[in-house]
Chain A
């Protein structure tokens, strides 16, 4: 193999699919072959059967919908406040000096550690779930957006000034459009993290959702349902990632190589 040499699109898809096939083959071999006890790991067939039961008899679709709504709700809230604040910090250094130390500190506070506190404050309802995701996403978004905006090419800013741009126009006509593709990329990344927070939030003090189903299944030692739940999360993550990437390609055609 030659380093950095690209593969053809066909080979790329084939290789990607091949690993999934290999993964399922090893799993099937280990479970059907009797290497692992079904108590600890269900085989692929019973996982699918349990999944079907979940969907048809236990209203699992509702759980999925609820979890998606929580992720999207908390994430949109974090982005709606985090992106403008990050932009303000990146553009105006006094604002950055004011917020940056506190936000850098808050970023290291694990969102899951806030769950008991948030339950105390907001109960076990939807507000608490949204807050967990908000706490997990907000500080990350702010800091990364500030870095992107702060790293805007100075020569572009200078060129805009010599073309008569005002300070305000520098922000709206240069800093924002120049950073927009990277901001979209940040949001894609943080959305992935938001998915891990929502499950953690649902493992504790929830009465519905994918995470809640996983906890219930653990009590019943139903590893098939647990794995099906995890798989559903993975598939949703993959789909949203693809959708985000496709959207970015459409919205920012100029930034593609």
Chain B
């Protein structure tokens, strides 16, 4: 069992060279239940990645705190696995060695995950021999092999082409449907958020705060054909309106 609670977390980055400080994230509150799949959706620069990095312990919040199972997060740890947007496989390790890197990773579980993410036969390949999609699948397997309580994903498929991205979404969803890990997924892609999440939290333009939450009640297992159903379109219409307002505000801020 694991529950995540984000309490009054905000983040201000100090200004450099006489510039005023930047308020990246306004005070934010979010509760993530066990086995929940939550997408943080927002325009670029809204602080959604900052929020995720605070949960990971890679940034310290300016105010508030993050609790995982009642324990305050003070730094990064193996209980919160993370997949980054950039390719972060260790280039000097093979696929298998990468997946076994984590302090809690075990060989049997790694072998099972390699098969699960479709990398059997590539165990001894180095990352640079793999495509972007394969690298992110390895990164996903690496995070899962360490058996985290919660999985944090920071636009993990953002750098992939559309077809690969759709396949990766199905793969991740399949893993979640089988394992029911708690997932916090950051994206700016509305379709991706609806397809993956049980709950979508929409963040406002900078300074980010959660301005709307939408429960997605599409049944599981989800299939890619769902993306063309009327229910999906309804969700999309609602979220598009929310995001559009925020995106426009973000653009206005840049011109101000």
Residues on A close to B: CB < 8 A?
Answer: 153, 155-156, 158-165, 173-174, 177-178, 180, 252-255
CA A3 – CA B163 in complex, angstroms?
A: 35
Measured in the bound complex, the distance between the Cα atoms of B81 and A254 in whole Å is 25
A161 touches B92 (CB 8 A): no
Contact pattern, B 160-200, Cβ under 8 Å of A = 1, otherwise 0: 00000000000000000000000000000000000000000
Taking A156-B90, A162-B152, A163-B103 as given, write out 15 further A-B residue pairs in contact, using a Cβ cutoff of 8 Å, ordered by the A residue number: A158-B58, A158-B84, A159-B82, A161-B57, A161-B58, A161-B76, A162-B58, A162-B80, A162-B143, A163-B146, A164-B77, A164-B102, A165-B103, A254-B92, A254-B93
Q: Which residue of B lies closest to A256 (CB)?
A: B128
Residues of B within 8 A of A (CB): 56-58, 75-78, 80-82, 84, 86, 88, 90-93, 101-105, 126-128, 139, 142-143, 146, 152
Q: A177: shortest Cβ distance to chain B, in Å?
A: 5
Main secondary structure of the interface of B (DSSP, over half): loop
The reply to whether B88 and A156 contact each other, CB–CB distance below 8 Å, is yes
CA distance A174 to B101 in the complex (A): 11
Chain A residues with CB under 8 A of B126: 253-254
Bound form: Cα–Cα A255–B126 in Å: 9
Contact A174 B90 (CB under 8 A): yes
- Could you name 23 residue pairs across A and B whose Cβ atoms are closer than 8 Å? A155-B84, A155-B88, A156-B88, A159-B88, A160-B90, A161-B75, A162-B56, A162-B57, A162-B76, A162-B81, A162-B143, A163-B81, A163-B102, A163-B142, A163-B143, A164-B103, A164-B104, A165-B103, A177-B93, A180-B92, A253-B126, A254-B128, A255-B92
Residues of the B chain whose Cβ atoms lie less than 8 Å from the Cβ of A161: 57-58, 75-76
A177 touches B90 (CB 8 A): yes
The answer to whether A254 and B101 touch across the interface, beta carbons within 8 angstroms, is: no
Task: Please state if B78 and A163 are interface contacts (CB–CB under 8 Å).
Answer: yes
Enumerate chain B residues within 8 angstroms of A153, measured Cβ to Cβ: 88
* Contact residues in B for A162 (Cβ distance below 8 Å): 56-58, 76-78, 80-82, 143, 152
Nearest B residue (CB) for A252: B92
The smallest C-beta distance from A104 to any residue of chain B, in angstroms, reads 24
- Residues of A contacting B81 in the complex (Cβ-Cβ under 8 angstroms): 162-163
Which residue of the partner chain, among B77, B80, B92, B102, contacts A178 with CB atoms under 8 Å? B92
